């Protein structure tokens, strides 16, 4: 095994200038701070040698898909790491969500946050299920259990919580709501790989949890996802649905689709799993640097990760308050001019995206906190491709833009 789990061919971006006054800003005509675009989630890559060795074995076996040995090994590793009985690896997080939703028998209406990546809502809509949006707690950005309770109707068939930014949703309170109404509860855990809830790894909350290993997630398999659960029967149904419902060569016993993870993605997953502790260490360090640099800039703050829990620190969430010297959108514009591709995740909220806006023109009336949070958040670049010098420069740009605005 290589001692360095992160691929050595990786050179973090360095800033091209320092910024101390408005005239240094790209929006004032100065050259941009970065020569190439700095993305919020540049892919993290583990040891390439480990990956290539697995790929070599794969070619020797000529077994590329259909529950191959690398996928089996990957699922086994995830079960051990997350302390959960079953892991079913999939081609991506969205198909994993769709299959989990169907396996839980959801139909009619399902309650979800509007403040999430669009895939959470689409996975329902795509299957003829109506996503009903409930409001969030502005302090945590997670689904508010009281708001969920208010949105339940006789047509409600389930609840999907989202562990946004890796901060665990209030699972016990949501479970209480679900139990009171006899509803299945599942979680979109796309942001929460490696995070804990009350000291336990996310992965066995609710009936099942769904992960994404997309290239932009801090832990990736190029594209990929998984459903994890402690429910034996549910796991069996999900396994069947992932592979057209096949039980043996000629026997189809369940409706299904093609949700299989391929071997080369599992090879990437196995190589990157070894690097996860190091990537988290870097993310946590980056998060602390941003927080320290920005602590005295008025009107902006970094959302802390959950106190007392482990986090993967994969998102640096900046909140721009209404009384800051600059609007959120003007700050994003100034950062983009510097080649810092900060993002307004998940603005404007699913309910204000065309397919759902037309379905629920008045949804905003019950989503005041969603609207306020979506209008003030900026996600900043982090991960292994962002150096300490880059973070110092990004923060000095934010400081000068905010102070100039004021």
Tell me which residues touch ligand PLP (CB under 6 A).
92-94, 116-117, 119-120, 162, 188, 190-191, 212, 214, 225
Locate all alpha helices (DSSP H) within 137-188, ordered by sequence.
145-150, 171-180
Residues with Cβ within 8 Å of residue 217, at least 6 apart in sequence:
41, 190, 191, 193, 314
CB of 92 to ligand PLP, least distance (A): 4
The span from the CA of 383 to the CA of 386, in Å, is 6
Q: How far is the CB of 44 from ligand PLP (least distance, A)?
A: 15
Exposure string (b/e) for 318-355, b if CB count within 10 Å is 16 or more?
A: bbbeeebbbebebbbebbbbbbbbbbebbbbbbbbeee
Q: Choose between 117 and 133: whose C-beta lies nearer to ligand PLP.
A: 117
| Of 354, 378, 349, 376, nearest in space to 364 by CA | 349
Q: How far is CA 262 from the centre of its chain?
A: 21
> Least distance from C-beta 122 to ligand PLP, angstroms?
9
Least separation in angstroms between residue 223's CB and ligand PLP is: 6
Q: Closer to ligand PLP at the Cβ: 94 or 229?
A: 94
Q: Which is nearer to ligand PLP, 68 or 166 (CB)?
A: 166
Tokens of 116: 């999430």
Question: How far from each other are the two terminal CA atoms of the chain, in whole angstroms?
Answer: 54
- Spatial neighbors of 22 by CB under 8 A, at least 6 apart, are 28, 400, 404
Q: State which residue, 118 or 151, has the beta carbon closest to ligand PLP.
A: 118
Strands of 225-229's sheet, edge to edge? Answer: 86-90, 225-229, 208-212, 185-188, 156-162, 109-113, 130-134
- Select 183 or 190, whichever has its Cβ closest to ligand PLP: 190
Minimum CB distance to ligand PLP smaller for 219 or for 290: 219
> Shortest approach of ligand PLP to residue 118 CB, angstroms?
8
In whole angstroms, the minimum distance from the beta carbon of 37 to ligand PLP comes to 20
Cβ 320 to ligand PLP, closest distance in Å?
22
Is 276 or 397 the residue whose CB approaches ligand PLP more closely?
276
Give the nearest residue (CB) to ligand PLP: 93
282's tokens = 């870097």
């Amino acid at each position: 095994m290589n001692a360095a789990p992160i691929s050595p061919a990786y050179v973090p971006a360095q800033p091209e200038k320092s910024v101390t006054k408005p005239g240094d800003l790209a929006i004032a005509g100065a050259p941009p701070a970065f020569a190439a675009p700095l993305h919020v989630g540049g892919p993290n890559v583990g040891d390439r040698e480990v990956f290539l060795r697995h790929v070599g074995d794969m070619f020797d076996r000529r077994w590329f898909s259909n529950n191959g040995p690398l996928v089996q090994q990957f699922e086994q590793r995830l079960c051990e790491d997350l302390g959960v009985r079953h892991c079913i690896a999939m081609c991506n997080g969205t198909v994993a969500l769709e299959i989990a939703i169907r396996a839980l028998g959801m139909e009619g209406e399902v309650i979800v946050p509007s403040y999430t990546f669009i895939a959470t809502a689409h996975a329902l809509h795509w299957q003829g299920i109506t996503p009903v949006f409930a409001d969030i707690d502005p302090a945590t950005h997670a689904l508010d259990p009281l708001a969920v309770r208010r949105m339940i109707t006789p047509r409600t068939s389930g609840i999907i919580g989202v562990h946004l930014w890796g901060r665990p949703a209030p699972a016990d309170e949501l479970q209480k709501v679900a139990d009171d109404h006899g509803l299945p509860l599942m979680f979109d855990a796309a942001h929460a790989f490696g995070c804990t809830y009350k000291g336990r790894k996310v992965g066995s909350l609710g009936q099942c949890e769904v992960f994404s290993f997309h290239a932009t997630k801090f832990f990736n398999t190029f594209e990929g996802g998984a459903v994890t659960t402690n429910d034996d029967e549910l796991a069996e149904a999900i396994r069947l649905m992932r592979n057209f419902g096949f039980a043996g060569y000629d026997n189809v016993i369940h409706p299904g689709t093609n949700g299989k993870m391929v071997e080369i993605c599992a090879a990437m997953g196995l190589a990157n799993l070894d690097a996860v502790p190091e990537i988290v260490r870097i993310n946590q360090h980056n998060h602390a640097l941003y927080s320290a640099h920005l602590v005295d800039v008025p009107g902006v703050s970094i959302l802390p990760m959950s106190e007392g829990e482990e986090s993967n620190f994969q998102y640096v969430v900046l909140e721009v308050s209404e009384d800051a010297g600059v609007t959120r959108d003007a700050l994003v514009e100034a950062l983009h001019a510097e080649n810092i591709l900060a993002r307004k995740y998940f603005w404007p909220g699913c309910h204000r995206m065309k397919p759902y806006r037309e379905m629920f023109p008045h949804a905003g009336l019950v989503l005041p906190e969603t609207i306020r949070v979506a209008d003030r958040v900026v996600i900043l670049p982090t991960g292994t491709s962002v150096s300490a010098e880059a973070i110092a420069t990004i923060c000095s740009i934010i400081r000068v833009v905010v102070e100039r605005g004021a």
